[in-house]
Structure 1
Amino acid sequence: MAATQTVAQLPELRKVNTVSLPECFHLKSSTLRPSHGVITLSGYGIGVRVDRGHLILEDGIGTERSHCRLPRVDHGLRRLVVIGADGMVSLGALRWLADQNASFMMLDRDGSVLITTGPVRSSDAKLRRAQAMALENGTALRISRDLIDRKLAGQERVASDGLGNEPAASAIRRLRSDLAGAQSIDTVRLIESQAARVYWSAWRTLPIMFPKSDLRRVPDHWRAFGSRVSPLTGSPRLATNPANAILNYLYAVLEAETRLAAATLGLDPGIGVLHVDTHYRDSLACDLMEPIRPDVDAFVLNWLRREPLPRSNFFEQRDGNCRLMAAFASNLSQTAPTWARLVAPIVERFAREINTSNGKRQYNVPARLTQRNKREVRGGNPLPAANSPFRPKRLCRDCGREIAYRASHCKSCVKGILSAHITEAAHAGRIAAQSTTAQIRRAATQKTNARARYDWKPSDQPDWLTSEFYVKNVQPNLVSISGSSIAKQLNVSYSYADDIRKGRIPHPRHWKTLAELANLKGNRTE
């Protein structure tokens, strides 16, 4: 799933002390820091070890290396994610992470989960035995219906509110109503697959935005969501466009968090109730993550609707497989705490259901994930609020530069856009000014003004309101009056009113109204 750059390696020099390296081979070092409690390592020569009580992290590509030295206190690390398999992780580092209650995840470059470790908990034999018996006593069917019901409810919400596809939402709603009558797990799987077909068909035409400067380098099939099924595998694996590649990676992060949550409660992540047992897959983790998939979908959908995707975040292999660049995958890993909080109550609910599968409760399942019992005793919300995922960077839709969140274009690009808009508006204004309707209205206005000038008599003007009085007393006070007020009182255009404010002397019939507007009514100044 995550790709790395191909760079030139350091030349092999026998006498390093006597030969100076070229400037391009000088090492460039940067510092790694936890973001949302997550650090992601990728590249080549990854190192995770302990030195004098500190966790030492290192990754990078070629001459660009990143380092991090974390103490045992106040380090802020909750999850360490490693993408790839080129490097070394020491046993002491794994012990350091376990002592600090920090999780360790290792993801392959194709997005599959290789290793997950978390805080060490004792194995719960009773729960695992109940898992194994769930398919025989009907508990698996009941739990499967509940999990898929939650998933379809989320898909219905995304289809209706996110995609605006009410026919798809209605179809999913009908399939969801059929779940209650499902008498076998095969029927539940069939309903879920039918709903998935309707759901992902609603995504097919979703446009994917890229900065305009990247469009010439973007393949045509990247510009829409397309099919959820990859033509390379006949399944969602090995995505061929960025949108599906992002989904695959986030699903992998969600799966890793679900595996950790199940292991924390003493469950066996491999003994599932809905997914068929296969090699190299933890079926229970795949079962329990189903209700949270629509939350991942909603996050990605909102992102794709609001932000363009830089071409530099993706890499296309020779077979057409679309991969995420390591830096971009590191940013996506920051969503792990969000998915962990969302899946925690699902896993605990499953453990409670399994615990009572034989008709009586064996013991109280500890709420290690949500701390539900402690929250209820204290009178608080039994479930912790799920923090929102990290906010993607706001990018200019033309050049792809990072900008402020309320803007849509950078300062350089917005100048050209505004100039184009002004030109278009001026052209449209000139056309509108010569239309038949505009000419009729203009003729009517001119006729009205001519009639007003003809009907006005100098004798109607007060004796004190002379030309000298207007210029000396009225005109200076008009500067503090808005042009809109003058236009409204005189029933003239805004441009003519603005000219009056700037010193233009109007027809004498307007002097009295302007004097009253300037609070000079009857106050003749000698």
Structure 2
Amino acid sequence: MIKKTLCFSSPAYLSLGNAQLVIRLPEVENNETLPQRMKKEAERTIPIEDIGVVMLDNRRITVTSGVLEALLENNCAVITCDQKGMPVGLLLPLCGNTTQNERFRLQLDASLPLRKQLWQQTVKQKILNQERVLHANTDKNTGCMRAWANDVRSGDADNLEGRAAAYYWKNLFAGHPGFVRDRDGAPPNHLLNYGYAILRAVIARSLVGSGLLPTLGIHHHNRYNAYCLADDVMEPYRPYVDQLVIDIIRRNEDISVLTKELKMQLLIIPMLDVVVNGKRSPLMIAAQQTTASLVKCFSGEIRRVSYPEM
């Protein structure tokens, strides 16, 4: 079943009732000009089991501990935002799989050659997906990117990921003079940042559901990063966010400010169509297939991760 992505950008009171998320809006309840019938109708309920991601994008949101417990029991990712509306926190369950200890040990015992092979597959598919996005949206020659993808060696010893990224970002947003991909850079960097934060939460949720440690990466190993594995696995999925950002830019004349409307357009990321192993499914389902295949790679059952192909 496709899980819902909920975003709360206005003051709200979130509580639990009969295994349902109960949503009440203080601005409606405290409005004395509205009849009681309308106030009652403004209260909404959503089954907890139907929710996959919750975005808390307002500093006046109240969440009961019962809601958080129920969401985490159902492997829901809860994202908190700062005063600028950018994601800054991610809450995930401590135990997301019945054989979690066994899978932790498989992940911890993964050999260096295996991790390098997995990173080779990750980089190759990322470059191929970037090539498809660049080819579909520009008139630039992308033959070099296909060549780089085919030349990726174990562990990406030649850093072809970096070479491909430099070419990709130089040409993808040519309509934005001087664009440089930088977290704190000029638009559309803010759209990419927001989209990647949603994607990261989806991937981290899938990793926990598959019984893996999101912290222990196959390549990323920053000591201050709690989601190294999520950052590894999300790499081939990033071009889907890039394509969505391109589509948003084409539909909107002004993207200088990350408005509520633009955020709503980015919140469809978990539902984007993705092809894995020749089968089309929503990105959230595809992420689960990817992380499940990664577990099998760690256990030696298979040799390839099921990454998306654009």
Give the TM-score, by structure 1 length.
0.48
Q: Does structure 2 retain, via aligned residues, the 8 Å contact 1:131–1:272?
A: no
Superimposed CA distance per residue, residues 151-189 of structure 1 (whole angstroms, 9 cap, x where no aligned partner): 0111111122222211xx12212222221xx35x3626x
1:464-493 CA-partner distances (Å, limit 9, x unpaired) = xxxxxxxxxxxxxxxxxxxxxxxxxxxxxx
Aligned to 2:151: 178
SS in 2 for 1:149: helix
* Residue type of the alignment partner of 1:257: V
Gaps of 5+ in 1: 1-34, 207-223, 230-235, 316-323, 365-369, 371-382, 387-526
Q: What CA deviation, in whole Å up to 9, does each residue of 1:423-474 have, x standing for no partner?
A: xxxxxxxxxxxxxxxxxxxxxxxxxxxxxxxxxxxxxxxxxxxxxxxxxxxx
* Contact in 2 for aligned 1:49/1:90 (Cα 8 Å): yes
**Greater RCO structure (CA 8 Å; 6+ sep):** 2
1:132 paired residue number: 108
Equivalence for 2:298:
354
Asked if structure 2 preserves the Cα contact closer than 8 Å seen for 1:41 and 1:330, the reply is: no
- What is the CA–CA distance in structure 2 between the aligned matches of 1:72 and 1:156, rounded to whole Å? 40
Identity of aligned residues (%): 19
RMSD (Å), alpha carbons: 3.5
Q: 2:280 maps to what in 1? A: none
Letter in 1 for 2:288: A
The question of whether the paired residues in 2 share the 8 Å contact of 1:103 and 1:117 is answered with yes
**Structure 1: which 4+ aligned runs deviate by more than 6 Å?**
60-66
Show the 5 A alignment for 1:30-429: 37-43=4-10, 45-51=11-17, 54-58=20-24, 68-70=43-45, 72=47, 77-98=51-72, 101=74, 103-109=76-82, 111-117=86-92, 120-122=96-98, 124-134=100-110, 136-166=111-141, 169-179=142-152, 182-183=153-154, 185=155, 187=157, 190-206=159-175, 224=176, 226-229=178-181, 236-241=182-187, 243-305=188-250, 307-310=251-254, 315=257, 324-338=258-272, 339-356=283-300, 361=301
The count of residues paired between Structure 1 and Structure 2 equals: 283
Could you tell me the TM-score, scaled by structure 2's length?
A: 0.77
1:127 alignment partner AA: R
Bigger Rg, which one: 1
Structure 2 unaligned residues grouped into runs of 5+: 32-38, 273-282
Cα pair 1:42 1:60 within 8 Å, conserved: no
Q: CA–CA distance in 2 between the matches of 1:131 and 1:120?
A: 15
Amino acid at match of 1:187: A
Is the CA contact (8 Å cut-off) linking 1:247 and 1:300 kept in structure 2?
yes
In structure 2, what is the Cα distance between the partners aligned to 1:48 and 1:193? 43
Paired letter, 2:161: E
Report the CA distance shift for 1:269/1:298 in structure 2 as closer, same or farther (over 3 A).
same
Structure having the higher strand fraction is 2
Residue type of the alignment partner of 2:157: T
**Residue pair 2:179, 2:186 contacting (<8 A) in 1 also:** no
**Distance across 1 between alignment mates of 2:18 and 2:156:** 55
Q: Is the 8 A contact 1:84 1:106 kept in 2?
A: no
